[in-house]
Amino acid sequence: MQIFLEFVLILYIFIEPTNLQLLINVRNQGGDVMQENITANVSEDTVTLEFLRLDGVYVSQLVDFTNEVEAMKIIIPGEEELGQTNYQILCFLTHAAQADFIAPDAMAKLRQKNPGTVRVAEEDKGWRQTTATAWAGRITHLLSPAAARHCGPAKDKVYLRAADLSRWAPRPGMELSTFTSEINPFPERALAADSADGAPLVGVCSADTDRATDCICHFEVCVNWYPCGLKYCKGKPQGGLSYRCGIKTCHRCYRYHFYVRHRDSCLSYM
């Protein structure tokens, strides 16, 4: 039995973990403490970060490193005061800026020395604004199987911007024209096409917008803490080699604009 236990210990020490799940206590910009759940899946080359906001909105951000796809899933509860008894699931696909997250293999090696510590990001990355131009349709499965599963509950409310299609690496047998043919573009009047000043002819959703009128909705979400880079320290003078000695953490906010066929589909117009 002792030999067996020693063997198991050796395996634990020398076999690198392929997955990681961390529960992080994070202080947001308002001073409130919330929890983030970070999962690194080395076999799929993905990182998922999820949390529940204090207003009841659930946010789940997936980064697929292999396919360079970022999928932000948002579940928005209805406002009872506004007569909104249902909830809405949205998902936004964008080209992944891989420098924003450390890779899954590096993430999988992270450990918390003090799990109860409340974390605050070291660097504020500011705002990233995305204006969607199309419903993704079947292209999600072509771009990233992981993102397709992630965004599955959103059904027909998966959005992207056509400009990102040329940034994604070509798939075998899939030309840009094939990508383009698989998406469902917004109406021309919602895409800054015909107006003299270059602005969309469709107005912004507001409380004054007729309930049956189409409009441009927006939603904002902030990721208060995530590992955005590796820190390197210099070795002893005689060696001079640098080595990984920690992580850099960042804060970033996202603002998404997207077209809805009628104002009632925009649960965040207030």
In the prediction, which pLDDT does 185 show? Answer: 92
C-beta of residue 248 within 8 angstroms of C-beta of residue 123: yes
What average pLDDT does the segment 203-221 reach?
90
Please state the φ and ψ torsions of residue 51, each to the nearest 5 degrees.
-160, 160
> Which residue has tokens 């397709």?
148
Q: What is the mean pLDDT of residues 86-108?
A: 87
Whole-number mean pLDDT of the chain?
A: 82
Q: Mean pLDDT over residues 150-177, rounded?
A: 85
pLDDT at 237: 58
CA distance 129 to 218: 10
* Residue 41: strand pairing partners: 19, 46
Position with higher pLDDT, 115 vs 73: 73
pLDDT at 134: 95
Mean pLDDT of 117-145: 92
What mean pLDDT do residues 134-160 have? Answer: 93
The larger pLDDT score, comparing residue 228 to residue 114, is at 228
Which comes out higher in pLDDT, residue 107 or 7? 107
Average pLDDT over residues 82-96: 82
The answer to whether the pTM exceeds 0.75 is yes
- The fraction of the chain above a pLDDT of 90, given in percent, is 46
- Contact partners, residue 77, CB within 8 Å, separation at least 6: 56, 57, 87
Q: Which residue has the higher pLDDT, 254 or 165?
A: 254
- Does 1 score more than 90 pLDDT? no
